[in-house]
Amino acid sequence: MSAEVFDDRRCILGEGPLWHPEREQLFWFDIMRQQLLSRDASGPLKWRFDEPVAAAGWVDAETLLIASASALWRFNLSDGSKTQICGLEQDNPVTRSNDGRADPWGGFWIGTMGRNAEHGAGAIYRFYQGRLQKLFAQITISNAICFAPDRSCAYFTDTSTQQVMRVALDRQGWPTGDPTVFLDLSDDGLNPDGAVVDKAGAVWIAQWGAARVAAYSDAGEFLRAVEVPGVHTTCPAFGGAEFRTLYVTSARQGLSAEVAHDQSPHGQTFAVDGVAEGLPEPRVIL
């Protein structure tokens, strides 16, 4: 189960992989180049935006919800047109979107952060039934947004704390009670980035700087790690046949030119078959 290169384009900051279950197609972002990327039978695909874009959910076969630095957008894959759904910290030029994922109720959680990782500049929001509501404030680097298969809880992290949090959810998907620490990776010096939950409830977490994605049980026990060639892994997603392929984005950001040269794997997008069985991402209901 070795990692293979799925796409050899070297992103500055690859992020937000999304397997579209109806199109059977992977989408992801290069945040710093302001690009949405994909592949199909014809080869590599690219759409460019006028500000950073970071995360997406699928609405239907032709439509994505896309989080940019200042808004959520309805994006048409056929003609590249977009319509603003709502603003996202539009009055704050310091921040941009970072990590996001659809929830099982058809909502969409999206995190923000300072463009230079300013301390406490970001937040985590939920868009649901036409309304964007702030859930958690004072977030430095929002990441690891994902949801338990039984809808009991959500996970998220402020990467700067090296802790992954868990918060209980009510029957409509809103947090209830205070978040608690699910994983504390500080003793191991690990930096949690993006995450996804598999069918069995294990949380797969990309670990920035560690060249791997690690799986933990819903009790927080380490299960296994999957190594990838890119040192700065950023986010995993399950897709492919029966959702048994783990796709992993990575970044060149923060690496020296000697390390992140044009022949290096850093920033590429990888695929690992047969590590676990994932679940289809929920549809975003607009």
283 within a domain of the structure (yes/no):
no
Note if 60 is an active site residue: no
| SS3 state at 267 | coil
Q: Which residue has the tokens 């690009």?
A: 35
Q: Which residue has the tokens 């972002």?
A: 29
279 within a domain of the structure (yes/no):
no
Q: Is there a contact between 208 and 191 (Cβ–Cβ < 8 Å)?
A: yes
How many whole angstroms separate alpha carbon 256 and alpha carbon 130?
A: 43
pLDDT for 169 equals 98
| SS3 state at 274 | coil
| Domain count within the chain | 1
pLDDT in tens, 256-270: 999 989 899 999 999
| Band of pLDDT at residue 2, cut at 50, 70 and 90 | confident
Domain that holds residue 17: 4-273
Active-site residue identified among 30, 193, 198, 218: 193
What pairs with residue 218 in β-bridges?
none
Tally DSSP H helices, then E strands, for the chain.
Answer: 0, 24
13 within a domain of the structure (yes/no):
yes
Query: Buried b vs exposed e over 65-93: b needs ≥16 C-beta within 10 Å?
Result: bbbbbbbbbbbebeeeebeebeebbeeee
| SS3 state at 240 | coil
Which amino acid, residue 16?
A: G
Percentage of the residues of the chain whose pLDDT score is greater than 70 = 100
281 within a domain of the structure (yes/no):
no
pLDDT for 69 equals 98
Q: Which residue has the tokens 């500000």?
A: 51
CATH code at position 216: 2.120.10.30
How many whole angstroms separate alpha carbon 48 and alpha carbon 82?
A: 12
